[in-house]
Structure 1
Amino acid sequence: MRFKGLDLNLLVALDALMTERNLTAAARSIHLSQPAMSAAVARLRTYFRDDLFTMSGREFIPTPRAEGLAAAVREALLHVQLSIISWKAFNPAQSDRRFRIILSDYVTLVFFERVVERATREAPGVSFEFRPPTDDNEDLLRRGDVDLIILPEIFMSDAHPRTKLFDDVHVCVGCRSNKQLLQPLTFERYMSMGHVVVGFGETLRLGIEERYLLEHSRKRRIDVVVHSYSMIPPMLFGTERIGTMPLRLAQHLAKTIPLQIVELPLPQHLPFTKAVQWPALHNSDPASLWMREMLVEEASRLVSPLATSEPLINPDQHEYCPAHL
């Protein structure tokens, strides 16, 4: 079928080629033969008057013109799929929807476990695919490659809708035998001690506390960079290193491992808000609406991590800390 001279089927081929970057894989993904896909490439080149792809081995490298078309083509196809093809009433009890969600180990441990438990009761056929935070979260949302992203709100794009889930603050953690944590931690000692920090994505983008320090032209000593918060404690045991992490996660981990939690000597303990974001095209998707409502409801049931009678600094807890878990 042609629209103003363009065979709309070619857009499906172009989207597959941009996704797979390989002629054979792209043909397979949309159930075309390799000769048919080659013919589609030729017709695309003729219509757009551009090579669109160059070859590097067996990989298709898109030209600037193809890169410029990719987002609009994917958006158009997603709109057709969500608004025309796939639209139907959502019944959680009968759904087999798989939700692709970007979230950290922190959110998984302190929050999403209860969401999965509830979904198992209400929608036993629903499944989840968890992915770690990346450097191209906004592109994944734009292309509709993920359903939801849960991140600190300050790291989210303004191009897609979002809603608040819960608040948290940062604290400092260390081994229980760390004598430097026997007294309230000053900013000077915090900066001079060895740190274990989390790096997110392929570029190991550092967290909120590092962003604050860089804004104030302060540099701490970083001994170890790990790729998830739950990897911080093993790098602390038997040493005088410290780490910075959200209080909810520190309290969760301290239930089973010998972790000391002390106040962070930075302004107001660096509070932040966790939010959920979704592709703008999914805004009216019934399944996405159901999941987002569940997330907000479960988040509202969370107790504030500061609503505890136990002080963060507890000298009685300082005892021998094993070198390993």
Structure 2
Amino acid sequence: MDRMRFNGLDLNLLVALDALLTERNLTAAARNINLSQPAMSAAVGRLRTYFKDDLFIMRGRELVPTPLAESLAAPTREALLHIQLTISSREAFDPAKSDRRFRIVVSDFMTIVFFRRIIERAAREAPGVSFDLLPFDDQPDEPLRRGEIDFLIFPEVFMPPGHPKTKLFDETMVCVGCRSNRQLRGKLTFETYMSMGHVMAQFGKTRKPSIDEWLLLEHGIKRRVEVSVQSFAMIPHCLLETERIATMHRRLALHFAKTMPLQIVKLPAHLPAFTEAIQWPALHNSDPASAWLRGMVLAEAKRMRVSHGS
């Protein structure tokens, strides 16, 4: 785009374009940026005139972007984020007065054993701060690149490149079954482990395997999965009163064993420990609010490593 044409563009229209590309619906996009529907329709008309392209085609109630509109999506979002973060980085961040809402992709395992500590501490130190804890996306690098999420808390081995990250703590896997499961009494052999039915968690639209499945497959071990569930927390409930077993995070297994009739045994196949880490968009590196929450997360992770020796 040449300089003259850029100077002729009302930059407020980029906000409207970004909302339309995100929502793919005129009414929802207008609501997103607090515009009336007639005002949003007018913005669409001005955008079409400026770019000399339809930008969106109606298909039912959905706005389908043209190839030009698709090509504008990433640079538009990045330009708006740069402006927003440049402004916010110049402002002092006061946690006690902030109403910032953080969007964090995190598993139920990490929520239960770790992130609840952050929620508890934030309730005391920053009562106006809130959190959206989101499920895993099949392509976590996309929301990171677009700055649509503040943090990704994930096994480090799965983290996309190109964005800053840091270690939280190491975790190991154990075998878990119902307390009445007779095959878990005594030492569990590899042959018995492989002969039993397993419960496993899978995630996203493509049902991606969890870290335990990935580690096992890396060692050439393929289990007979009889039950597949949507979250780690559902696994123990599917073991009760059955002969099935699961390979689970040690911390999560210990958490559920406090209130459920579970038994935890050592895995017959050695799986290495893996690292849970936190990652954030490169665009957010100098954002004071992001830096504040990172500091809290890292302090709690250090406290956990000291108390658990990992």
Q: Choose the corresponding residue for 2:224, options 221, 224, 228.
A: 221
1:58-137 alignment runs, 5 A limit? 58-84=61-87, 87-137=90-140
User: Corresponding residue for 1:177?
Assistant: 180
User: Corresponding residue for 2:304?
Assistant: 302
1:89-121 deviations in Å (ceiling 9; x for gaps): 111222222222221111111112222222222
Q: Secondary structure of 1:88's partner?
A: coil
Please list every run of 5 or more consecutive structure 1 residues that lacks an aligned counterpart in the other structure: 309-325
Contact 1:248 1:305 in 2 (8 A): no
| Offset, 1:285 | 0.8
User: Corresponding residue for 1:20?
Assistant: 23
CA distance in 2, matches of 1:98, 1:306: 30
Matched, 1:280 2:277: no
Query: In structure 2, what residue type is equivalent to 1:272?
Result: F
Contact 2:136 2:204 in 1 (8 A): yes
| Offset, 1:307 | 5.5
1:62-111 deviations in Å (ceiling 9; x for gaps): 22332221111111101111112674111122222222222111111111
Contact 1:198 1:228 in 2 (8 A): yes
| Offset, 1:2 | 6.7
CA distance in 2, matches of 1:140, 1:274: 19
* Cα distance change of structure 1 residues 86 and 227 upon mapping to structure 2, 3 Å threshold: same
Query: In structure 2, what residue type is equivalent to 1:58?
Result: R
CA distance in 2, matches of 1:249, 1:149: 19
CA distance in 2, matches of 1:103, 1:85: 25
Query: In structure 2, what residue type is equivalent to 1:294?
Result: M
Q: Secondary structure of 1:291's partner?
A: helix
CA distance in 2, matches of 1:142, 1:86: 19
Please list every run of 5 or more consecutive structure 2 residues that lacks an aligned counterpart in the other structure: none
* Cα distance change of structure 1 residues 245 and 280 upon mapping to structure 2, 3 Å threshold: same
User: Corresponding residue for 1:204?
Assistant: 207
Query: In structure 1, what residue type is equivalent to 2:239?
Result: L
User: Corresponding residue for 1:263?
Assistant: 266
RMSD: 2.3
Contact 2:201 2:230 in 1 (8 A): yes
Superposition TM-score, scaled by structure 1 size: 0.87
| Offset, 1:216 | 5.1
Q: Choose the corresponding residue for 1:195, options 194, 198, 202.
A: 198
| Offset, 1:305 | 8.6
Q: Choose the corresponding residue for 1:289, options 267, 288, 291.
A: 291
Please identify, of 146-155 and 180-189, the stretch whose mean Cα deviation from structure 2 is larger: 180-189
Contact 1:152 1:274 in 2 (8 A): yes
Q: Secondary structure of 1:3's partner?
A: helix
Please identify, of 37-46 and 289-298, the stretch whose mean Cα deviation from structure 2 is larger: 37-46
User: Corresponding residue for 1:314?
Assistant: none
Query: In structure 2, what residue type is equivalent to 1:79?
Result: H
Matched, 1:233 2:208: no
Query: In structure 2, what residue type is equivalent to 1:91?
Result: D
State the number of aligned residues.
307
Contact 1:247 1:305 in 2 (8 A): no
Contact 1:236 1:242 in 2 (8 A): yes
Q: Secondary structure of 2:209's partner?
A: coil
Please identify, of 242-251 and 138-147, the stretch whose mean Cα deviation from structure 2 is larger: 138-147
* Cα distance change of structure 1 residues 34 and 202 upon mapping to structure 2, 3 Å threshold: same
Query: In structure 2, what residue type is equivalent to 1:163?
Result: T
CA distance in 2, matches of 1:30, 1:303: 43
CA distance in 1, matches of 2:52, 2:198: 55
1:5-27 deviations in Å (ceiling 9; x for gaps): 43322211110101111112222
CA distance in 2, matches of 1:306, 1:189: 30
Contact 1:209 1:270 in 2 (8 A): no
Please identify, of 248-257 and 22-31, the stretch whose mean Cα deviation from structure 2 is larger: 22-31
1:165-214 deviations in Å (ceiling 9; x for gaps): 11101111001111111132233322221010001122221112322344
Q: Secondary structure of 2:63's partner?
A: strand
Please identify, of 122-131 and 213-222, the stretch whose mean Cα deviation from structure 2 is larger: 213-222
Contact 2:202 2:210 in 1 (8 A): yes
